[in-house]
Amino acid sequence: MSTLTSPHRVTTSATGGPTLSIVIPMFNEEDVLPVLFERLCSVLDSLGESYEIICVNDGSTDGTAQMLAKAHDDNERVKVVNFSRNFGKEIAMTAGLDLASGQAVVPIDADLQDPPELIGAFLEKWREGFDVVYAVRRQRDSDTKMKRWTAARFYRVINTMSGVPIPANSGDFRLMDQRVVRAVVQLREQNRFMKGLFAWVGFRHAEVPYDRPVRAAGKSKFNYWRLWNFAIDGITGFSTVPLRVAGYVGILTALGAIVYGIYLIMRTLIHGVDVPGYASLMVAVLLIGGLQLVVLGVIGEYLGRLYEEARKRPLYIVESSLGFDETSP
């Protein structure tokens, strides 16, 4: 095993844990698992560092659970967590971070659009003293034009609204020092936007550019509706600007109504009373009613999140696990 040279890093022998923990959330990934483990283990073995691979099965309905059990039998460094149902990728990633014991932790997607070969570059930056090393996509040719356009708009909007800058074109694929992971797992909100949480905890960070390949197998679990809801979670989780905008819209609408009311009074005093127009009345009523519903919807988004947090339910429920001792969660 190579020696870690950064002064604030600790060696495997000093901690009793591996150098690397790889965290992989999974949902119906049976098509890609054989090539995933072959490629990932080949890369990790070539690095000469001790490692564990934590696979979080997020309620898969195909043969993912059985294939993960076989992978554990073939390689004891592959550890498996099976959820009682599907809780979502962000929750599955959180469970993996909860269980990771490595000095550095790398969340990675199962579809191999996050190339395992970048882990070596992550390690080099980590040894230089960076606490977080994240991958940044140079190009997104594997995505549709619509997805590229909406992703660019999303990062622009959230970085304008939020006080915590989130690197554009970066995903969850990154290396984090264990002390960063300990900070992240303390954040237990129900609606989790992991890229925002990674950015919120801070620490010294660096980036590694790469070209994002196509999926090795299977289909993406994110459609445009889920991506839209994911964007809403990100914005409402890290900014109160929508609430402020809703208040401004209400103020401007009220001021407009006052100005228009003064205009009607003056016109009546000068020109007398005319027959009111049905069309203009309906437009005004529908406009104000629509604005009220929009404002209520924005308030409802935040109120719903408060309700979720007030219930204090656990983030996930583990049905079974392989490779962990009895004291693990």
Question: For residue 24, what pLDDT band results from cuts at 50, 70 and 90?
Answer: very high
pLDDT value at position 13? 39
Q: What's the order of all strands across the beta sheet hosting 205-211?
A: 205-211, 132-139, 170-177, 104-107, 20-26, 51-57, 78-83, 318-322
Residue 261 to residue 29: CA distance in whole angstroms:
62
Beta bridge partners, 56, equal 25, 81
Q: Would the pLDDT of 120 be above 60?
A: yes
Q: Would the pLDDT of 220 be above 70?
A: no
Task: State the DSSP H helix or E strand holding residue 175, giving kind and residue range, or none if neither.
Answer: strand 170-177
User: Nearest-5° angle of CA 103, CA 109, CA 110?
Assistant: 110
**Residue 183, token pair as written in the block:** 């900070």
Please name which of 29, 25, 67, 22 lies closest in space to residue 217, comparing C-alpha atoms. Answer: 29
Question: For residue 305, what pLDDT band results from cuts at 50, 70 and 90?
Answer: confident
Lowest-confidence pick of 23-27, 194-198, 265-269: 265-269
> Helix, strand, coil proportions of the chain in percent (round to 5)?
50, 15, 35
pTM score: 0.70
How far the first Cα of the chain sits from its last, in Å, is 29
Average of per-residue pLDDT across 151-159: 65
Q: Which amino acid belongs to residue 125?
A: K
Pairing of strands 205-211, 104-107: unpaired
pLDDT value at position 223? 53
Question: For residue 68, what pLDDT band results from cuts at 50, 70 and 90?
Answer: very high
Please name which of 30, 103, 101 lies closest in space to residue 69, comparing C-alpha atoms. Answer: 30
Average of per-residue pLDDT across 111-118: 87
Q: Would the pLDDT of 56 be above 90?
A: yes
Q: In the chain, where are the structural domains located?
A: 12-222+314-322, 241-311
Of all residues in the chain, the percent with pLDDT exceeding 70 is: 71
User: Nearest-5° angle of CA 52, CA 57, CA 60?
Assistant: 155
Residue 100 to residue 94: CA distance in whole angstroms:
10
Average of per-residue pLDDT across 48-67: 90
DSSP string, 45-68: HHHT--EEEEEEE-S-SSSHHHHH
The CATH architecture annotation of domain 12-222+314-322 reads Alpha-Beta Complex (3.90)
Residue 93 to residue 71: CA distance in whole angstroms:
19
- What value does the mean pLDDT of the chain take? 77
Question: For residue 11, what pLDDT band results from cuts at 50, 70 and 90?
Answer: very low
Average of per-residue pLDDT across 248-254: 73
pLDDT value at position 14? 42
Q: Would the pLDDT of 301 be above 90?
A: no
Average of per-residue pLDDT across 142-150: 63
